[in-house]
Chain A
Amino acid sequence: MNEFMEKKVKLKWYEPKQTYDVIIIGGGGHGLSTAYHLATRHDITNVAVLERKYIGGGNSGRNTTVIRANYGIPEAVKFYQRSVELYQRLEEETDRWMMHKQKGILWMAHTEAHVRQEKARAEVNTAFGAKTIYVTPKEINEIAPEVDLTGGGKWPVLGASYHPEAATARHDRVNWALAEGANKRGVYIHQRTEVIDLLKEGNRVIGVMTNHGPMYAKTVMSAVGGHVTRIARMAGIRLPIRTHPLQAYVTNHYELEFDPIVASTSLLFYVSQTARGEMLIGAEIDRQPSYNYRAGHHLIQTCSFRAITLLPFLRHLRILRQWTGVCDMSPDYSPIMGFTPVEGFVITTGWGTWGFKAIPVGGEQMAELIATGRTPDLIAPFALDRFKKDRTKADRGSAGTH
Protein backbone atom coordinates (compact mmCIF):
# COMPACT_ATOMS: atom_id res chain seq x y z
CA MET A 1 0.00 0.00 0.00
CA ASN A 2 1.58 3.26 -0.95
CA GLU A 3 0.48 6.65 0.19
CA PHE A 4 -0.87 7.62 -3.22
CA MET A 5 -3.20 4.70 -3.55
CA GLU A 6 -6.66 6.17 -3.77
CA LYS A 7 -9.37 5.02 -1.49
CA LYS A 8 -12.57 4.55 -3.40
CA VAL A 9 -15.12 7.23 -2.68
CA LYS A 10 -18.15 5.77 -1.05
CA LEU A 11 -21.17 7.46 -2.56
CA LYS A 12 -24.65 6.04 -2.46
CA TRP A 13 -26.63 6.30 -5.67
CA TYR A 14 -30.20 7.42 -5.28
CA GLU A 15 -32.92 7.73 -7.89
CA PRO A 16 -33.70 11.43 -8.43
CA LYS A 17 -36.68 12.71 -6.45
CA GLN A 18 -39.25 15.30 -7.47
CA THR A 19 -38.87 17.72 -4.58
CA TYR A 20 -36.04 18.78 -2.32
CA ASP A 21 -35.53 21.52 0.23
CA VAL A 22 -32.44 22.80 -1.53
CA ILE A 23 -31.04 22.12 -4.99
CA ILE A 24 -27.40 22.99 -5.58
CA ILE A 25 -26.32 23.30 -9.19
CA GLY A 26 -22.67 22.35 -9.58
CA GLY A 27 -20.90 19.45 -7.87
CA GLY A 28 -17.59 21.16 -7.36
CA GLY A 29 -15.95 22.17 -4.12
CA HIS A 30 -18.31 25.00 -3.26
CA GLY A 31 -21.48 23.06 -4.12
CA LEU A 32 -20.41 19.99 -2.17
CA SER A 33 -19.16 22.08 0.71
CA THR A 34 -22.49 23.89 0.96
CA ALA A 35 -24.32 20.54 0.96
CA TYR A 36 -21.91 19.19 3.56
CA HIS A 37 -22.38 22.18 5.86
CA LEU A 38 -26.17 22.18 5.38
CA ALA A 39 -26.18 18.56 6.52
CA THR A 40 -23.69 18.81 9.36
CA ARG A 41 -24.40 22.29 10.76
CA HIS A 42 -28.08 22.84 10.03
CA ASP A 43 -29.55 19.33 9.76
CA ILE A 44 -30.93 20.04 6.30
CA THR A 45 -30.37 16.81 4.42
CA ASN A 46 -33.12 16.90 1.82
CA VAL A 47 -30.60 18.44 -0.54
CA ALA A 48 -29.65 17.55 -4.11
CA VAL A 49 -26.31 18.38 -5.71
CA LEU A 50 -26.57 18.31 -9.49
CA GLU A 51 -23.39 17.82 -11.47
CA ARG A 52 -23.23 17.88 -15.25
CA LYS A 53 -20.26 15.48 -15.48
CA TYR A 54 -18.60 14.06 -12.37
CA ILE A 55 -17.98 15.66 -8.99
CA GLY A 56 -14.88 17.82 -8.80
CA GLY A 57 -14.35 17.57 -12.54
CA GLY A 58 -14.34 21.31 -13.21
CA ASN A 59 -12.16 23.93 -11.61
CA SER A 60 -12.16 22.04 -8.30
CA GLY A 61 -10.00 19.45 -10.01
CA ARG A 62 -7.92 21.90 -12.03
CA ASN A 63 -6.72 24.44 -9.50
CA THR A 64 -3.28 24.67 -7.97
CA THR A 65 -4.44 23.85 -4.42
CA VAL A 66 -2.97 26.79 -2.51
CA ILE A 67 -4.67 27.61 0.80
CA ARG A 68 -3.74 30.98 2.30
CA ALA A 69 -5.24 34.09 3.85
CA ASN A 70 -2.68 36.81 3.08
CA TYR A 71 -5.08 39.06 1.22
CA GLY A 72 -4.89 42.81 0.88
CA ILE A 73 -8.29 44.00 2.11
CA PRO A 74 -9.77 43.48 5.60
CA GLU A 75 -12.97 41.71 4.46
CA ALA A 76 -11.00 39.17 2.44
CA VAL A 77 -8.40 38.57 5.17
CA LYS A 78 -11.11 37.75 7.72
CA PHE A 79 -12.96 35.54 5.25
CA TYR A 80 -9.97 33.51 4.04
CA GLN A 81 -8.46 33.23 7.52
CA ARG A 82 -11.65 31.45 8.57
CA SER A 83 -11.11 29.10 5.64
CA VAL A 84 -7.48 28.42 6.60
CA GLU A 85 -8.67 27.48 10.09
CA LEU A 86 -11.48 25.27 8.76
CA TYR A 87 -9.06 23.49 6.43
CA GLN A 88 -6.74 22.77 9.34
CA ARG A 89 -9.41 20.68 11.04
CA LEU A 90 -11.26 19.39 7.98
CA GLU A 91 -9.28 16.14 7.87
CA GLU A 92 -10.15 15.37 11.46
CA GLU A 93 -13.76 16.39 10.97
CA THR A 94 -14.39 14.29 7.84
CA ASP A 95 -12.04 11.49 8.89
CA ARG A 96 -10.41 11.55 5.48
CA TRP A 97 -6.80 12.29 4.67
CA MET A 98 -6.52 15.23 2.27
CA MET A 99 -2.74 15.53 2.14
CA HIS A 100 -3.16 18.87 3.86
CA LYS A 101 0.30 20.22 4.48
CA GLN A 102 1.26 23.52 6.03
CA LYS A 103 4.09 25.03 4.00
CA GLY A 104 4.16 28.77 4.29
CA ILE A 105 4.17 31.15 1.37
CA LEU A 106 6.89 33.63 0.43
CA TRP A 107 5.56 36.56 -1.56
CA MET A 108 8.58 38.23 -3.11
CA ALA A 109 9.16 41.94 -3.56
CA HIS A 110 11.58 43.08 -6.28
CA THR A 111 11.09 46.85 -6.21
CA GLU A 112 10.75 49.49 -3.53
CA ALA A 113 7.07 49.79 -4.37
CA HIS A 114 6.58 46.08 -3.84
CA VAL A 115 8.50 46.20 -0.56
CA ARG A 116 5.99 48.80 0.65
CA GLN A 117 3.14 46.67 -0.68
CA GLU A 118 4.33 43.52 1.11
CA LYS A 119 4.90 45.43 4.35
CA ALA A 120 1.36 46.77 4.05
CA ARG A 121 0.11 43.25 3.42
CA ALA A 122 1.78 42.04 6.61
CA GLU A 123 0.21 44.90 8.57
CA VAL A 124 -3.30 44.38 7.20
CA ASN A 125 -3.06 40.63 7.76
CA THR A 126 -1.86 41.01 11.34
CA ALA A 127 -4.59 43.53 12.10
CA PHE A 128 -7.35 41.20 10.87
CA GLY A 129 -6.21 37.87 12.22
CA ALA A 130 -3.92 36.29 9.64
CA LYS A 131 -0.31 35.60 10.54
CA THR A 132 1.93 37.35 8.03
CA ILE A 133 5.34 38.89 8.65
CA TYR A 134 7.72 40.85 6.50
CA VAL A 135 11.06 39.07 6.01
CA THR A 136 14.43 40.30 4.79
CA PRO A 137 16.53 38.53 2.11
CA LYS A 138 18.64 36.93 4.87
CA GLU A 139 15.53 35.40 6.43
CA ILE A 140 14.29 34.29 2.99
CA ASN A 141 17.56 32.46 2.56
CA GLU A 142 16.93 30.60 5.79
CA ILE A 143 13.37 29.65 4.79
CA ALA A 144 14.17 28.72 1.19
CA PRO A 145 17.89 28.49 0.39
CA GLU A 146 17.07 27.52 -3.22
CA VAL A 147 15.86 31.04 -4.05
CA ASP A 148 18.36 33.03 -6.10
CA LEU A 149 18.26 36.32 -4.21
CA THR A 150 19.87 38.16 -7.13
CA GLY A 151 16.91 37.08 -9.28
CA GLY A 152 19.20 36.11 -12.15
CA GLY A 153 20.80 39.55 -11.89
CA LYS A 154 17.62 41.20 -13.12
CA TRP A 155 15.03 40.79 -10.39
CA PRO A 156 16.86 41.10 -7.05
CA VAL A 157 14.79 40.01 -4.07
CA LEU A 158 14.55 42.97 -1.69
CA GLY A 159 12.22 41.30 0.77
CA ALA A 160 9.09 39.25 1.02
CA SER A 161 5.97 38.76 3.07
CA TYR A 162 5.91 35.38 4.75
CA HIS A 163 2.61 33.73 5.64
CA PRO A 164 3.49 30.56 7.56
CA GLU A 165 -0.06 29.19 7.67
CA ALA A 166 -0.28 28.79 3.89
CA ALA A 167 -0.86 25.18 2.95
CA THR A 168 -1.69 22.88 0.08
CA ALA A 169 -4.09 19.95 -0.03
CA ARG A 170 -5.08 17.39 -2.58
CA HIS A 171 -8.09 18.95 -4.32
CA ASP A 172 -9.80 15.69 -5.38
CA ARG A 173 -9.66 14.37 -1.85
CA VAL A 174 -11.25 17.55 -0.52
CA ASN A 175 -14.13 17.15 -2.97
CA TRP A 176 -14.53 13.48 -2.25
CA ALA A 177 -14.43 13.90 1.51
CA LEU A 178 -17.08 16.62 1.40
CA ALA A 179 -19.24 14.61 -1.02
CA GLU A 180 -18.92 11.53 1.15
CA GLY A 181 -19.65 13.43 4.36
CA ALA A 182 -22.76 14.98 2.83
CA ASN A 183 -23.91 11.76 1.17
CA LYS A 184 -23.52 9.80 4.41
CA ARG A 185 -26.01 12.15 6.05
CA GLY A 186 -28.56 11.73 3.28
CA VAL A 187 -27.66 14.37 0.70
CA TYR A 188 -28.44 13.32 -2.86
CA ILE A 189 -25.55 13.70 -5.29
CA HIS A 190 -26.69 13.31 -8.89
CA GLN A 191 -23.81 13.12 -11.31
CA ARG A 192 -24.30 13.34 -15.08
CA THR A 193 -27.37 15.43 -14.39
CA GLU A 194 -27.36 18.58 -16.43
CA VAL A 195 -29.57 21.57 -15.72
CA ILE A 196 -31.31 22.49 -18.96
CA ASP A 197 -33.51 25.25 -17.60
CA LEU A 198 -34.68 26.87 -14.40
CA LEU A 199 -38.37 26.63 -13.61
CA LYS A 200 -39.77 30.03 -12.71
CA GLU A 201 -43.03 31.32 -11.36
CA GLY A 202 -43.10 35.08 -11.67
CA ASN A 203 -39.92 36.41 -10.10
CA ARG A 204 -39.27 33.19 -8.22
CA VAL A 205 -37.24 30.11 -9.09
CA ILE A 206 -39.21 27.04 -8.03
CA GLY A 207 -37.02 24.29 -9.45
CA VAL A 208 -34.83 23.09 -12.25
CA MET A 209 -35.39 21.15 -15.43
CA THR A 210 -32.72 18.52 -15.87
CA ASN A 211 -32.04 15.81 -18.41
CA HIS A 212 -33.66 13.46 -15.86
CA GLY A 213 -36.82 15.53 -15.65
CA PRO A 214 -37.98 18.38 -13.42
CA MET A 215 -36.97 18.79 -9.77
CA TYR A 216 -38.53 21.30 -7.39
CA ALA A 217 -37.02 23.05 -4.38
CA LYS A 218 -37.59 25.99 -2.06
CA THR A 219 -34.09 27.27 -2.70
CA VAL A 220 -31.95 26.78 -5.78
CA MET A 221 -28.29 27.65 -5.48
CA SER A 222 -25.85 28.06 -8.33
CA ALA A 223 -22.34 26.92 -7.48
CA VAL A 224 -21.36 26.76 -11.13
CA GLY A 225 -17.88 27.84 -12.17
CA GLY A 226 -16.94 29.08 -15.62
CA HIS A 227 -20.34 28.39 -17.16
CA VAL A 228 -22.28 30.38 -14.55
CA THR A 229 -23.49 32.93 -17.11
CA ARG A 230 -25.62 30.21 -18.71
CA ILE A 231 -27.40 29.49 -15.42
CA ALA A 232 -27.77 33.18 -14.61
CA ARG A 233 -29.33 33.79 -18.00
CA MET A 234 -31.92 31.09 -17.25
CA ALA A 235 -32.76 32.90 -14.03
CA GLY A 236 -32.93 36.20 -15.86
CA ILE A 237 -30.11 38.02 -14.10
CA ARG A 238 -27.01 39.61 -15.54
CA LEU A 239 -23.65 38.97 -13.92
CA PRO A 240 -20.40 40.92 -14.00
CA ILE A 241 -18.56 37.71 -14.88
CA ARG A 242 -16.16 37.01 -17.70
CA THR A 243 -14.95 33.48 -18.32
CA HIS A 244 -11.20 33.30 -18.83
CA PRO A 245 -8.96 30.25 -19.27
CA LEU A 246 -6.31 29.67 -16.61
CA GLN A 247 -3.37 27.43 -17.34
CA ALA A 248 -0.92 25.67 -15.06
CA TYR A 249 1.64 22.93 -15.46
CA VAL A 250 3.86 20.54 -13.50
CA THR A 251 7.38 19.34 -14.06
CA ASN A 252 8.71 15.87 -13.42
CA HIS A 253 9.59 15.15 -9.83
CA TYR A 254 12.28 17.06 -8.02
CA GLU A 255 14.27 14.76 -5.76
CA LEU A 256 14.55 17.13 -2.82
CA GLU A 257 11.82 18.53 -0.67
CA PHE A 258 10.98 22.11 -1.52
CA ASP A 259 8.84 23.35 1.26
CA PRO A 260 7.50 26.87 0.89
CA ILE A 261 5.23 28.13 -1.85
CA VAL A 262 7.08 30.88 -3.72
CA ALA A 263 5.10 33.62 -5.41
CA SER A 264 5.97 36.87 -7.06
CA THR A 265 3.47 39.37 -8.36
CA SER A 266 5.96 41.41 -10.36
CA LEU A 267 7.38 38.33 -12.04
CA LEU A 268 3.84 36.92 -12.17
CA PHE A 269 4.28 33.28 -11.30
CA TYR A 270 4.05 30.95 -8.34
CA VAL A 271 5.66 27.61 -7.58
CA SER A 272 4.83 24.89 -5.11
CA GLN A 273 5.76 21.25 -4.80
CA THR A 274 3.02 18.64 -5.08
CA ALA A 275 2.91 15.59 -2.84
CA ARG A 276 4.42 13.56 -5.68
CA GLY A 277 7.42 15.89 -5.80
CA GLU A 278 6.42 17.59 -9.02
CA MET A 279 6.98 21.31 -9.17
CA LEU A 280 3.69 23.00 -9.89
CA ILE A 281 3.96 26.30 -11.73
CA GLY A 282 1.21 28.71 -12.61
CA ALA A 283 0.67 32.32 -13.53
CA GLU A 284 -2.33 34.43 -14.42
CA ILE A 285 -5.44 33.99 -16.52
CA ASP A 286 -5.30 34.32 -20.30
CA ARG A 287 -6.30 37.87 -21.19
CA GLN A 288 -9.10 37.01 -23.62
CA PRO A 289 -12.37 35.47 -22.41
CA SER A 290 -12.81 31.93 -23.69
CA TYR A 291 -14.41 28.62 -22.79
CA ASN A 292 -11.67 26.67 -24.54
CA TYR A 293 -9.81 24.07 -22.47
CA ARG A 294 -6.80 23.94 -24.78
CA ALA A 295 -3.45 24.89 -23.33
CA GLY A 296 -0.75 26.66 -25.29
CA HIS A 297 3.03 26.90 -25.48
CA HIS A 298 3.19 30.61 -24.83
CA LEU A 299 2.48 30.28 -21.11
CA ILE A 300 4.98 27.47 -20.59
CA GLN A 301 7.68 29.45 -22.32
CA THR A 302 7.21 32.81 -20.64
CA CYS A 303 6.31 31.45 -17.22
CA SER A 304 9.18 28.98 -17.05
CA PHE A 305 11.58 31.74 -18.02
CA ARG A 306 10.37 33.87 -15.12
CA ALA A 307 10.32 30.98 -12.65
CA ILE A 308 13.91 30.05 -13.47
CA THR A 309 15.17 33.56 -12.69
CA LEU A 310 14.12 33.04 -9.08
CA LEU A 311 14.53 29.27 -8.71
CA PRO A 312 17.45 28.23 -10.94
CA PHE A 313 17.14 24.53 -10.07
CA LEU A 314 13.93 24.39 -12.13
CA ARG A 315 15.97 24.57 -15.33
CA HIS A 316 17.00 20.92 -14.89
CA LEU A 317 13.42 19.69 -14.76
CA ARG A 318 11.16 18.73 -17.65
CA ILE A 319 7.53 19.69 -18.07
CA LEU A 320 5.26 16.70 -17.62
CA ARG A 321 1.80 18.04 -18.29
CA GLN A 322 -0.26 21.18 -18.45
CA TRP A 323 -3.94 21.83 -18.24
CA THR A 324 -6.53 24.58 -18.40
CA GLY A 325 -9.62 25.48 -16.45
CA VAL A 326 -12.22 28.08 -17.32
CA CYS A 327 -12.56 30.61 -14.52
CA ASP A 328 -15.47 32.84 -13.60
CA MET A 329 -13.66 36.14 -13.14
CA SER A 330 -15.35 39.02 -11.34
CA PRO A 331 -14.26 42.56 -12.22
CA ASP A 332 -12.83 43.29 -8.75
CA TYR A 333 -11.18 39.88 -8.24
CA SER A 334 -13.38 39.10 -5.23
CA PRO A 335 -16.09 36.46 -5.05
CA ILE A 336 -19.81 37.13 -5.41
CA MET A 337 -21.96 35.36 -2.82
CA GLY A 338 -25.48 35.70 -1.61
CA PHE A 339 -29.03 36.52 -2.66
CA THR A 340 -29.98 37.64 -6.15
CA PRO A 341 -32.85 39.84 -7.36
CA VAL A 342 -34.68 36.57 -8.17
CA GLU A 343 -36.43 34.98 -5.18
CA GLY A 344 -35.45 31.47 -4.23
CA PHE A 345 -32.22 31.71 -6.20
CA VAL A 346 -28.90 32.24 -4.43
CA ILE A 347 -25.54 32.31 -6.05
CA THR A 348 -21.89 31.74 -5.26
CA THR A 349 -19.68 32.70 -8.15
CA GLY A 350 -16.77 34.86 -9.17
CA TRP A 351 -14.39 32.32 -7.70
CA GLY A 352 -12.05 32.79 -10.61
CA THR A 353 -8.54 31.81 -9.67
CA TRP A 354 -9.03 31.86 -5.88
CA GLY A 355 -11.87 29.40 -5.22
CA PHE A 356 -10.13 26.33 -3.81
CA LYS A 357 -8.83 28.00 -0.66
CA ALA A 358 -12.35 29.17 0.18
CA ILE A 359 -14.15 25.83 -0.21
CA PRO A 360 -14.84 25.21 3.52
CA VAL A 361 -15.74 28.79 4.43
CA GLY A 362 -17.71 29.42 1.24
CA GLY A 363 -19.81 26.33 1.90
CA GLU A 364 -20.19 27.11 5.58
CA GLN A 365 -21.37 30.66 4.98
CA MET A 366 -23.67 29.80 2.07
CA ALA A 367 -25.20 26.99 4.14
CA GLU A 368 -25.88 29.48 6.92
CA LEU A 369 -27.40 31.90 4.40
CA ILE A 370 -29.72 29.22 3.02
CA ALA A 371 -30.66 27.83 6.44
CA THR A 372 -31.30 31.14 8.19
CA GLY A 373 -32.47 33.21 5.24
CA ARG A 374 -30.16 36.09 6.07
CA THR A 375 -26.69 36.99 4.86
CA PRO A 376 -23.94 36.18 7.39
CA ASP A 377 -21.72 39.15 8.28
CA LEU A 378 -18.60 37.48 6.95
CA ILE A 379 -19.87 37.39 3.36
CA ALA A 380 -22.10 40.49 3.41
CA PRO A 381 -19.36 42.60 1.72
CA PHE A 382 -19.30 40.17 -1.21
CA ALA A 383 -22.96 40.54 -2.23
CA LEU A 384 -23.90 40.85 -5.88
CA ASP A 385 -25.34 44.35 -5.43
CA ARG A 386 -21.97 45.77 -4.32
CA PHE A 387 -21.22 46.85 -7.90
CA LYS A 388 -24.32 49.01 -8.09
CA LYS A 389 -23.59 50.46 -4.65
CA ASP A 390 -20.04 51.33 -5.72
CA ARG A 391 -18.61 49.11 -2.97
CA THR A 392 -16.36 46.87 -5.04
CA LYS A 393 -13.76 44.82 -3.18
CA ALA A 394 -10.78 45.24 -5.47
CA ASP A 395 -7.94 42.91 -4.53
CA ARG A 396 -6.28 41.84 -7.74
CA GLY A 397 -2.80 42.04 -6.25
CA SER A 398 -3.64 39.24 -3.82
CA ALA A 399 -6.09 37.15 -5.80
CA GLY A 400 -4.82 37.50 -9.35
CA THR A 401 -2.49 34.55 -9.44
CA HIS A 402 -3.42 31.69 -7.13
Chain B
Amino acid sequence: MSILIPCPHCGPRPVEEFVYGEVPVVPEEITDPEERDFDFGFMRNNPEGVQREAWFHAYGCRRWVYIERDTVNDEVIGR
Protein backbone atom coordinates (compact mmCIF):
# COMPACT_ATOMS: atom_id res chain seq x y z
CA MET B 1 0.00 0.00 0.00
CA SER B 2 1.43 3.36 -0.89
CA ILE B 3 -0.78 6.16 0.32
CA LEU B 4 -0.34 9.45 2.11
CA ILE B 5 -1.75 9.81 5.60
CA PRO B 6 -2.89 13.36 6.40
CA CYS B 7 -1.12 14.03 9.70
CA PRO B 8 -2.55 17.15 11.37
CA HIS B 9 0.90 18.10 12.61
CA CYS B 10 3.19 17.16 9.72
CA GLY B 11 0.92 17.33 6.69
CA PRO B 12 0.49 14.45 4.25
CA ARG B 13 3.19 11.86 4.95
CA PRO B 14 3.91 8.42 3.38
CA VAL B 15 2.25 5.49 5.11
CA GLU B 16 5.59 3.81 5.82
CA GLU B 17 6.20 6.40 8.57
CA PHE B 18 3.12 5.19 10.45
CA VAL B 19 2.13 2.18 12.50
CA TYR B 20 -1.40 0.88 12.04
CA GLY B 21 -3.75 0.89 15.01
CA GLU B 22 -7.10 -0.82 15.07
CA VAL B 23 -10.30 0.79 16.35
CA PRO B 24 -12.60 -2.15 17.17
CA VAL B 25 -16.31 -1.44 16.86
CA VAL B 26 -18.65 -3.70 18.83
CA PRO B 27 -22.16 -3.77 17.32
CA GLU B 28 -24.85 -2.19 19.44
CA GLU B 29 -27.06 -5.29 19.15
CA ILE B 30 -24.69 -7.07 21.53
CA THR B 31 -25.81 -5.96 24.98
CA ASP B 32 -24.43 -8.55 27.40
CA PRO B 33 -21.23 -7.01 28.87
CA GLU B 34 -19.31 -10.30 28.73
CA GLU B 35 -20.34 -10.79 25.12
CA ARG B 36 -19.23 -7.26 24.37
CA ASP B 37 -15.82 -7.87 25.96
CA PHE B 38 -15.39 -11.05 23.94
CA ASP B 39 -16.44 -9.33 20.73
CA PHE B 40 -14.05 -6.45 21.43
CA GLY B 41 -11.20 -8.88 21.93
CA PHE B 42 -11.70 -11.25 19.02
CA MET B 43 -14.47 -10.52 16.58
CA ARG B 44 -14.01 -8.04 13.76
CA ASN B 45 -16.32 -6.10 11.46
CA ASN B 46 -13.70 -6.34 8.69
CA PRO B 47 -15.68 -4.00 6.43
CA GLU B 48 -15.35 -3.83 2.68
CA GLY B 49 -15.65 -0.08 2.66
CA VAL B 50 -14.93 2.87 4.89
CA GLN B 51 -13.57 2.17 8.35
CA ARG B 52 -12.27 4.39 11.11
CA GLU B 53 -8.72 3.63 12.16
CA ALA B 54 -5.76 5.07 14.04
CA TRP B 55 -2.22 5.49 12.79
CA PHE B 56 0.73 6.20 15.04
CA HIS B 57 3.21 8.57 13.40
CA ALA B 58 6.24 6.62 14.63
CA TYR B 59 8.79 8.30 12.34
CA GLY B 60 7.30 11.77 12.70
CA CYS B 61 5.52 13.65 15.43
CA ARG B 62 4.84 10.43 17.41
CA ARG B 63 1.15 11.18 17.85
CA TRP B 64 -1.94 9.20 16.98
CA VAL B 65 -3.82 10.23 13.86
CA TYR B 66 -7.43 9.13 13.35
CA ILE B 67 -8.58 8.76 9.75
CA GLU B 68 -11.31 7.11 7.73
CA ARG B 69 -10.08 4.87 4.94
CA ASP B 70 -11.87 2.89 2.24
CA THR B 71 -10.48 -0.65 2.56
CA VAL B 72 -11.39 -1.51 -1.05
CA ASN B 73 -9.13 1.04 -2.73
CA ASP B 74 -7.15 2.39 0.25
CA GLU B 75 -8.40 5.90 -0.35
CA VAL B 76 -8.31 8.17 2.69
CA ILE B 77 -11.78 9.67 3.01
CA GLY B 78 -11.16 12.11 5.82
CA ARG B 79 -10.20 12.64 9.41
Contact = CB atoms under 8 A, between A and B. Distances in A.
Interface of A: 227, 229-230, 238-243, 245, 286-292, 294, 296-298, 331, 387-388
Given A227-B48, A238-B43, A291-B48, A286 B1 contact: yes
| Cβ-closest 9 pairs across A and B | A229-B46, A288-B20, A240-B42, A238-B43, A296-B2, A287-B20, A387-B42, A292-B74, A290-B71
B46 A241 contact: yes
Contacts of A292: 1, 71-74
Interface residues of B, number: 24
A289 B46 contact: yes
A271 B51 CA distance: 34
A294 B74 contact: yes
A239 B43 contact: yes
Nearest to B47: A229
B46 A242 contact: yes
Interface of B: 1-2, 15-16, 19-20, 22, 27, 38-39, 42-48, 51, 53, 69, 71-74
Given A243-B71, A288-B53, 4 more contacts: A227-B48, A238-B27, A238-B39, A288-B69
Interface secondary structure of A, over-half rule: loop
Contacts, number: 59
A240 B44 contact: yes
Given A239-B46, A242-B44, A298 B16 contact: yes
A240 B43 contact: yes
Contacts of B74: 290, 292, 294
A298 B2 contact: yes
Contacts of B42: 240, 331, 387
Nearest to B55: A288
Nearest to B27: A238
Contacts of A230: 48
Given A292-B74, A297-B2, A388 B38 contact: yes
Contacts of B27: 238
B49 to A, nearest CB: 9
A290 B43 contact: no
Given A296-B1, A298-B2, A298-B16, A291 B72 contact: yes
Contacts of A239: 43-44, 46
Contact of B44 (A241, A290, A297): A241
10 contacts: A241-B44, A243-B71, A245-B1, A287-B19, A288-B69, A289-B46, A290-B74, A291-B72, A292-B74, A387-B42
